[in-house]
Amino acid sequence: MDPADSNTLHIEVVYSPAAAQVDRVLLRLPAGACLGDAVRASGLCERHALEAESLRTGIWGRMQPLQAVLRDQDRVEMYRPLKVDPKEARRLRYKRSRSATGG
């Protein structure tokens, strides 16, 4: 491993604007960078007209604040807002399946 590389983080930032679509950016950031740095450096907010401060974000599927410090090889995820409450969506699916089966 190159000694100069120990001061560099390799980070992947992803955002899914719609189901089955993923916009992915690979970054090299200085050691000590935080999640917010990765979000800003990715350019995904500008590309998708998002406000970084109001985004829900995470690292490897776990919600994290923008101040969370990154480690090498982290995957930063930007989550889009839910359009339907998950509990309500399950209730509606159940209701549709019951009416389709005649029950």
* pLDDT tens digits along 62-103: 999 999 999 999 999 999 876 777 788 788 888 888 877 766
Give pLDDT, residue 43: 96
**Considering Cα of 17, then 20, then 61, then 1, what sign does the dihedral take?**
negative
Residue type, 21: Q
In the prediction, which pLDDT does 11 show?
A: 98
Q: Is residue 1 scored above 70 in pLDDT?
A: no
- Backbone φ, ψ for residue 6 (5° rounding): -70, -15
Instruction: Provide the pLDDT confidence category of residue 8 given band limits of 50, 70 and 90.
Output: very high
Please tell me the distance from the alpha carbon of residue 75 to that of residue 90, in angstroms, as a whole number. 29
Give pLDDT tens digits for 25-68: 999 999 999 999 999 999 999 999 988 778 899 999 999 999 99
Phi first, then psi, for residue 5 (nearest 5°) are: -70, -20
CA angle 49, 83, 87 (to 5 degrees): 150
